[in-house]
Chains A and B, each alone.
Chain A
Amino acid sequence: MNEEIPTGSPAKVAVEDVSKTFRARHDLVQALDHVSLQVREGEFVCLVGPSGCGKTTLLNIIAGLDTPDSGRVLADGKPVTGAGSDRLVMFQEPALFPWLDVRSNVLFGLNLKPNLGKAERLEVAQYYLQLVGLEKFLHANVHELSGGMKQRLALARALAPNPRVLLMDEPFGSLDALTRDQLYGDLQSIWAQRRRTVVFVTHNAREAACLGDRVVLFSPRPGRIQEQFEIRLARPRDINSVELASHATEITRALKRHLKPELREVAE
C-alpha cells in the first residue's frame, strides 16, 4: 500500500481517480469523472467550476459523507471510510441547528473536543463569534438571523474546532461585498496563523485568486479537472489589487473557454 502514497511531501488529502454517478429519476447523472487531486498539508486549494459540475459532490466524498463509485480518497495516507472531525465541512446551506442558540451552535463542535475545558470552549466560541461580528447575538435564536448572519455563524462554527482539514462550500455566497472583503482578510489571517489545509469551493474567480495557493478548474458535467493555476502572490492579498485582478481574469477566461464546447453541444 505504501508505494501508492506519493513520495516527497505527503499529501494531506489525496483524491485518486474518483468517479461518481447519481441515479436521477429516469437517467444517470455523472457528477465526477475520474478526478484526481492532491492537496498538500497547509495548502489552500480553491475549486472553481460552473454550477452542477460536481464540486459539492467531491467535497462530500472527501468529507466521507458520500462514497465514490470508483477510486478512493486518502487523508493522511489512510483511506477515508466515513466522516471524521479531522475533515470538517462548512456546507453550501448554513445547516445550523435551530434548537440551539447562536453561541451553542458554535459550542457544538467544541464540546466534541475532549481536551478542552469549559472555560476554554466559551473563550474560543466568543473569539470566533467576535471575528464574524456576532458577539452581540450570543443568545439569539437562529431564525432571528439574516441570511448573511447565518452564513457568518456557520463560518464561526466551522472554524472554532480548528479542524486539520476544512472543506468549505461557497461559504460567502450570500454575504454583502463589505462583509465579504472583511472575511477574506480574517480568513487569510486565521489561515496564516494555523496553516490548516483548506479546500474551498467558489463560483467567483476573484475570490479564488484572493484566497487560493492553487485554483483548480472543473469542467461542466461530468466534472473533470480541466486546468490548474498556481497563485504566487504575496499574502495577505487585497481582493481589489491589480495583480490579483489579472489572475482572476485569466481564470475567468479559462472558465469560458471550457464552457464553450458544452454550449455548442447544447445548441446542436
Chain B
Amino acid sequence: MKRATAAFLFFALLAVLWEVLVRTGVWPHMLVPAPSEVLRYLVDAVADGTLPGAMAVTLKRLVLGYVAGFALGLPLGLLIARFKFFADTLGLMALGLQALPSICWAPLALLWFGQTEAAMFFIVIMGSVWSITLATDAGVRHVPPIYVRAAQTMGSRGLHTWSHVILPAALPFIVSGMKQGWAFAWRSLMAAEIYITILTGFGLGHLLHYGRELHAMDAVLGIILVIIGIGLLTDKLLFSPVERFIHRRWGTAR
C-alpha cells in the first residue's frame, strides 16, 4: 500500500510539474501539450469510440500472433533441445532470426499477404517465436540430469518425463523467454502499425501515425500513454504473478 501511494504521488507530481512548465511557457506549447489537454483528448477518444476500437484491433493482433508464436516456439525449442540434427539446423536459424528485428519482415509481409491482418500476424509471430524457441531450448538443456534420473527410477518414461519433469524444471527459462517474446512482439507490432497502412483494421499505431500527420501532439502523447499502460498492465497481470510463483517455489527471490 505504501509503495502504491509512493508511486501515485510520484506520477501526480510529475504531471503537475509538466502542467506548470507548459502553462508558464517554459516549454513551448507548440511542441509539448499540457497533461490536461492529453487527458481531454483521451476522454474524447474514449467517448467517441476511436480509442477503444483501436485498442481492440491492436490487442487482437498482438494476442493472436503471440499465442501462435508460443504454440510454434515451444515445440520448436523442445525439438532443438532433443535432437542434435535440429540443434544444428533449426537452432542456428532461430539464433539468426532472433537477432533480426521482425519489422524488417514488413516489405516481404506486404508483398506476400497485402495490406491485411495476415501481414500483421506474420510480423508479430516472427517477433515472438524465436525468443520462445531459444529460451525453451536453453531451459531444457539446463535441467540437471539428476532430476530425470530420479524420475526414471520412480517409473517415469518418455512423454511423462517431458511433461512432468523437463518442462516444469525448464519453466524459469521458458517464462523469461515468453516475456522477451512478448516485448519483441509488442514493439514490432507498434512499428508495423505506424509505418504500414492496413486496410482491415485501424490500430493504436495508426492512430499515432495520424496524430503526427495532423500535428495533434496531444493525441500522440495520449496514445503513447495508452501503449505504456498496456505494457505495464500485461507485465503486472500476466508475467509478474508467474515470476513471483517461480521465485517463491525455486527460492530465487532476493
Q: Which residues of A contact B (CB under 8 A)?
A: 63, 65, 82-85, 87-89, 91, 93, 95, 97-101, 108-109, 112-113, 141-144, 157, 161, 167
Contact = CB atoms under 8 A, between A and B. Distances in A.
A97 B165 contact: yes
B159 interface: no
A99 B250 contact: yes
Contact of B155 (A93, A97, A109, A157): A109
B147 interface: yes
28 contacts: A63-B153, A65-B153, A83-B153, A84-B155, A85-B154, A87-B153, A89-B149, A91-B146, A91-B149, A91-B150, A95-B149, A97-B168, A98-B249, A99-B250, A100-B168, A108-B154, A112-B155, A112-B156, A141-B248, A141-B249, A141-B250, A142-B251, A143-B249, A143-B250, A144-B251, A157-B154, A161-B155, A167-B153
Contacts of B164: 108
A161 B156 CA distance: 13
Contacts of A143: 249-251
Interface in B97-155: 146-147, 149-155
Given A98-B250, A141-B251, A144-B251, A112 B154 contact: yes
Contacts of A141: 248-251
- What's the dominant secondary structure at chain B's contact region? helix
Contacts of A108: 151, 154, 156, 164
A157 B147 CA distance: 13
A85 B160 contact: no
Contacts, number: 67
Interface of B: 146-147, 149-156, 160, 164-165, 168-169, 171, 248-251
Given A85-B153, A91-B146, A144-B251, 20 more contacts: A65-B153, A84-B153, A85-B155, A88-B154, A89-B150, A91-B149, A95-B146, A95-B147, A97-B169, A98-B169, A99-B249, A99-B250, A100-B168, A108-B154, A112-B156, A141-B251, A142-B251, A143-B249, A161-B155, A167-B153
Most-contacted residue by chain A among B152, B168, B171 (CB, 10 A):
B152
A126 B189 CA distance: 51
A83 B152 contact: yes
A98 B247 CA distance: 11
Nearest to B253: A143
Nearest to A65: B149
Contact of B171 (A84, A85, A88, A99): A99
